[in-house]
Structure 1
Amino acid sequence: MTNTIEITKAQTSKIHEVDFENLSFGKVFTDHMFICDFKNGEWQQPEITPYAPLTLDPSARVFHYGQAVFEGMKAFKDDANKVWLFRPEDNLLRINKSAERLAMPEFPKDVFMEGLKALINLDEAWVKPGFGNSLYIRPFVIATEPAIAASPALEYKFLIICSPAQSYYSGDVRVLIAEQFSRSANGGVGFAKAAGNYAAQFYPTSLANQEGFQQIIWTDADTHEFLEEAGTMNVFFRINDTLVTAPTNERILDGITRKSIIQIAQDSGIAVEVRPIKVSELIEASKSGALKEIFGSGTAAVVSPISAFSYKGDVFEIPKDVKSFSSIFKEKLLNIQYNKSEDPYGWRQSI
């Protein structure tokens, strides 16, 4: 494999056809994409080409056995029109960890970083400045070998596509605590960003939507007693002035935004407890008035306040607090991402 990336530029740009004031998340894509094939036991020549459909054999193993992993990350533009990434090496580490769990090959760090930066430089005009505006970046790997034998593929594609984005969720979110369905189980692939994890959430989430809830707070598969994640996000609970979140394990995604919030909270003098938390504890805290906040965290949503939760037919409203932890964390995180404040952690990388 050579680190030299072959670049074929698009003849014309689609950017003038896009209404950046009215973007639907993940439906508009930039002019180029990064692509690299894995064949004969190694990654081949990486390329950046005009964004276009793929041609795959109907027997490509991804269609039959679900060998597909992905990441979510963002690029941000500051007031001086300089573009920044946020903790990109963490995303590479996680996609390679996900790939390993699904018996897929890891992707080299140097080629990933070079390709990512070259791609964003080509499509830099798609990164709009201003809080809430960003370029959502989706690296992913799929099994492409044309064979339907139930075994790991020998051929794969690694791609990066980009989509201009505004805020992922608008307003607060009402959630239903899972009593029957599970997001993941012990020994499974819950910690990985495997495509099938998300497909499995769609049906129970659609049932929650019918009851007027936007998302589900998932509970452990064994007992449904412990709170784990909220929809596609990690979840935090503020009980009095202590921030509580579940520990990562083989069922829970090691969220990069989650890790960042924990670090910011600790450095802000806020008590943080990373421990299992029961549904019963949450309900008791709500009834006693000790529950001040619930919020989700993730790359797409950043921080998403939860205004109410339901369990066994009972709905528990969460009071609004103008000095919420979630608003403090979001502001500090965005200030780092958009180069409006110092970055004492070295999370921000220039393009």
Structure 2
Amino acid sequence: MKVFFQGQTYSINDVSNLLLVAPNYDFLTNFIKNWTERQELFSFQSSGSTGNPKTIEIHRDQITASVKGTQKALDLREGDQVLLCLNPNYIASIMMAARALILDLDLHIIPASSTPLNQLKGSVDFASFVPFQIYEMIHNKQLDRLAQIRNVLIGGAPLNQEAQNALAKLPNNIYLTYGMTETVSHIALMKISGSQVSETYQCLPGIEIGLHDNDCLKIKGEVTMQQWLYTTDVVEMKSETEFKWLGRADHVINSGGVKIHPEQLEKSIATLLTNQDYFITGLPDDQLGQSCTLIHTGSISEQKLREIQSMIENQFSKHHIPRQAIQVAEFIKTESGKLNRKKTLELFSR
């Protein structure tokens, strides 16, 4: 394994020298150092998008199991070139370093930004991005460069339909990921490019899934130390290893007895709201219990709202239509850039 950073090459033994020129990467470089010294337990911070951030202890064996699952799913090979261009303090970046360590891959580190391909010299075989980076690539007409990366993972937040349509035309392997800190990064992938585009997540080898309360997903495998992990993600099981993600149970809107998953509505109207932040939620309503409501940061005309309502009614039903659109000054986001719906609504309420 070699590490490439700002035009310099570092070996595993040079990791302390890397820290001198990249002090913001101390969490990452300490992980590399501790891994080579056979440390057994590692502490990670959850993103906090669904509650307060918390510290999670992950065993060395869980990390190895996650790496092996990804290796099999993506056919990663010794000597592959991999790109790390995400926030270095979160599990996605740490796991990219872990894959490089365990599988003897060469790691190219680029400081996190909205335009990582602008700084990339040469080619890589494997990379992970967040949706905002993908949107910028589409805006900057860089999809030809993205297509040169053999395996691309996209995670951290949902990807809008407009972007998925653009990526579907590319010949390389591009996947949406499903996972969390507790599962040591992703446990399932959805292919959205090439000739085998899918609408469901396929579990990595060794992952067992099922349903618990309210059709929420439960997960078990070596990455969870063979203990069931119970999530609040509502899914539709397609097989013993495949599922369709519908949304979070704590986001479900109950409007007149109809259960609405706002994440599905948000994805459907993405092409109509490309220049602003927005989400759909349920606000108290005397007649319906909850009224479907669009919360947004930019301006929405009455005509635009009617377009949104018409699109949702055509794809879902009249019961799913947002009854109103409310503009707020800003959205509250986590340190990793994820929308915090609960705190945004609390700010709006005040």
> Shared fold (TM-score greater than 0.5)?
no
More helix by share: 2
TM superposition score normalised by structure 2? 0.28
TM superposition score normalised by structure 1? 0.28
